[in-house]
Amino acid sequence: MKKILFVFGTRPEAIKMAPLVHELQNRKKQFSVKICVTAQHRSMLDDVLKIFRIVPDYDLNIMKDAQSLEHITELVMRKVTPVLKSFKPDMVLVHGDTSTTFVTALAAFYQRIPVGHVEAGLRSYDYNNPFPEEANRRLTDDLSSLHFAATMIGKENLIAENISEKNIYITGNTVIDALKWAVMRPHVFENKELRAFFGKIMLDPDSQVVLVTAHRRENFGKPMENVCRALKSVADKYKNVRIIYPVHLNPNVQNPVNRILGKHPRVLLLPPLNYLDFSCLMERATFIVTDSGGLQEEAPSLGKPVLVLRKVTERPEAVAASTAKVIGTDYARVVKEISQLITNDSLYTKMANAVNPYGDGKAAARTADAILHYFGSGKRPKDFTPN
C-alpha cells in the first residue's frame, strides 16, 4: 500500500483533484490517502470541499486579505514541510500551476519525496502570460518524478524539455471527470438571482446567454476596462442577448465591472458561484467569454464555444480543434468576435460541434493506474486519445 499526500489550495485545484481523491480513496487496498489544503483561496476552496465531500487531514489556512505571492510562498513552505515530515508519504500529488503547487513540489524535493504533477506539460512559453502560472508549472515539472499530461501536446512539451518519456502518462484532464459528475446531478440553482433569471428567460426561446469570467492579473487595469466596455456595447446592440458575469472578489475586477456594467438591464452581475451552480450555468449558456484556463477545457465537453481573453493560451488543443479562439482584450476585437458568434450560425455550429480534446471522464482512473505502474504494480495504462 502506497501512502499518498494530496496538497492543493485553490478552488480550481480542488475541482480537478476531487475525482482523483475519490478514486484513490476507493482503492483502499492500494493507497493510504491524506489531504492537505493550504487554503490559498479560503471560502472558494471550502465550497468545493463541501460539494465533493472532501475532509482535509491538514488545513494550513494561510490566506489573508490582499495576500502577496511572497506571503503565499513563505507560508506554504513553512507550514507544509512539517506535514511532509510527519506523514512521510511515498508520493505527493500536486496540480497545475498555483503557488501552492510549486512551493509544495519544492518542499517535497527538499525532503526527497517523489512528486506527481497532475496536468503537467502546459506551456505558453511566456513567463508574463499567464503570470505567475507559467513559471510555477515549469518549475513544478522540473521538480516532479511523475507527470500526468492531459494531452499529447503536454507530453511533447515535456519530452522537448528532456523529461523521460517513461515517466509521462497521458491521462486526459480530471476536470472533465468532475464536470460530468456535476452536470449529471439533478440541480436547482442555489443562487436566487440565477434561478429567477432562468425562470424568466425560458419564456423567450430566442434569447442567447453569454457567460463571462475575467479575473487574471495580466488583465487588470486597461484590459479589464476594454473588456467591460466591449460587453456593454454588445448588450446595447443585441436586445436578445443576456450577459451573465460572476464577478471575482478582487477589487481590481470588482471596480471596473461594477462601474461600467453595474446598471445595464441585460447584464446580470453575480458573486462567485458554487461549483454546481456554475457548472449548470455553463451547460445552459450559449457560449463563453473568459480569461480562465480551466474553462477552455470544460466548455468543449458541453459543446460551448469559447472566446479567450488572453494574448496567448497554454491550451492550444482547443484552438486547433476550433472550439476556442484567442481574441485578446482589445475593445474593437472583443466586440467583433462576440458579435460574430451571436449572428453567424455556421461559425457557432462549427465551434460548438468540435471534438473535445481534453478528456472522456476517465482521467482519474488512468492517473491512479499510472501511479501504481510507476511503483512497479500493474500494467502501464493506455494513453487517452480524443475520439
pLDDT digits (tens, 9 = 90+) for 46-81: 989 999 999 999 999 998 887 899 999 999 999 999
In order of 42, 266, 343, the CA distances from 258 in angstroms are 24, 14, 27
269 with 152, same domain: the answer is: no
Give 325's strand partners: 307
129 with 198, same domain: the answer is: no
Which residue from 355, 199, 163, 195 is spatially nearest to 270, judged by alpha carbons?
A: 195
What's the pLDDT at 186?
Answer: 79
Domain assignment of residue 263, given as a range: 191-352
Phi, psi at residue 8, to the nearest 5°? -155, 165
322 with 365, same domain: the answer is: no
88 with 233, same domain: the answer is: no
37 with 61, same domain: the answer is: yes
Beta strands in 259-374 (DSSP E): 267-270, 287-290, 306-308, 324-326
Mean of pLDDT values over 194-205: 77
345 with 367, same domain: the answer is: no
Tell me the DSSP string of 40-59: SSHHHHHHHHHHTT---SEE
Q: Is residue 379 part of a domain?
A: no
Question: Sheet harboring 58-59: ordered strands across?
Answer: 58-59, 31-37, 2-8, 91-95, 115-120, 146-149, 168-170
pLDDT per residue over 159-173, tens digit each? 999 999 999 999 999
Q: What is the mean pLDDT of the chain?
A: 94
21 with 150, same domain: the answer is: yes
Q: Is residue 50 part of a domain?
A: yes
129 with 200, same domain: the answer is: no
126 with 225, same domain: the answer is: no
- Number of domains, the chain: 2
Q: Could you give the dihedral angle defined by the CA atoms of residues 178, 179, 184 and 190, in that order, rounded to the nearest 10 degrees?
A: 100
18 with 155, same domain: the answer is: yes
pLDDT reading at 203 higher than 60: no
Q: What is the CATH number of the domain that holds 107?
A: 3.40.50.2000
Which residue from 130, 92, 134 is spatially nearest to 8, judged by alpha carbons?
A: 92
Catalytic residues: 97, 119, 133, 215, 217, 248
Q: Is residue 383 part of a domain?
A: no
**Residues of the chain with pLDDT > 70: what percent?**
99
Q: Is residue 90 part of a domain?
A: yes
What's the pLDDT at 282?
Answer: 94
213 with 346, same domain: the answer is: yes
pLDDT reading at 316 higher than 80: yes
pLDDT reading at 290 higher than 80: yes
Q: Is residue 384 part of a domain?
A: no
What's the pLDDT at 231?
Answer: 98
N-terminal to C-terminal alpha carbon distance within the chain:
34
Kind of pairing, strands 306-308 and 324-326?
parallel
pTM: 0.87
Q: Is residue 184 part of a domain?
A: no
Tell me the DSSP string of 214-239: ---GGGTTHHHHHHHHHHHHHHHH-T
